Amino acid sequence: MRRYPLPAFASLSLLLAGCGGKVADSSLLRESFDSGDTYTRSLDTTPAQACEAARRALLGQGYAISRADAGNVEGNKNFQPKDEVHEQLVLRVSCAAQGAGKAQVFVSAVQDRYALKKSPTSASVGVGALGSVSLPFGSNDDSLVRVASRTVQDPQFYRNFFGRLQYYVEQDAPAAAADPAR
């Protein structure tokens, strides 16, 4: 029977324990960078026209546009599923050239969840010779605190977005054909 030195055995045990813990369950390790097209599409239009179609698609669904230019669009929409829960969905769209007359459109959506946190408030009253006395008045300061943030990964959500984007690209196509300077 061969004997292994204790320090080498302990090091090997720690190494193996580190491989099987929470690190292996990390979302970062599940990123595959495969060739799936969940977050991107190629369109037969210019990048500026694709981003304008994205802006219209977001506006048509009630998003507030916080940034829009020829290469990027960002919009957000707020939801309140429960009395003390607030959610915000932010979509970021980037439009890049892909050869002559084609655009590559990338989109990602981030969902932030906020919860209402209440903090009791009290007031201090200074009384001459006694010093200050803290008296609770029973009021609360309410504030929204972000409790979760996640990238939306639902392929159907993105299919729906790209379907609406394509609708606006096709709607704008006759105008672009009539005005070649566009």
Range of the domain at 42: 35-80+91-109+153-178
In a domain, 76, yes or no: yes
In a domain, 145, yes or no: no
Tell me, what's the pLDDT at 74? 98
Tell me, what's the pLDDT at 176? 57
pLDDT tens digits, residue range 125-164? 555 665 665 555 555 677 888 899 999 999 999 999 999 9
Mean pLDDT of the chain: 80
pLDDT tens digits, residue range 67-113? 999 999 999 999 998 888 899 999 999 999 998 889 999 999 999 99
The DSSP letter of residue 30 is G
Number of domains composing the chain: 1
In a domain, 160, yes or no: yes
Residue 49 sits in a domain of what CATH number? 3.30.310.80
Q: Which residue has the tokens 């929470």?
A: 22
In a domain, 10, yes or no: no
Nearest to 54 by CA among 142, 130, 145, 166: 166
Would you say the C-alpha torsion 42, 45, 49, 54 has a positive or negative sign? negative
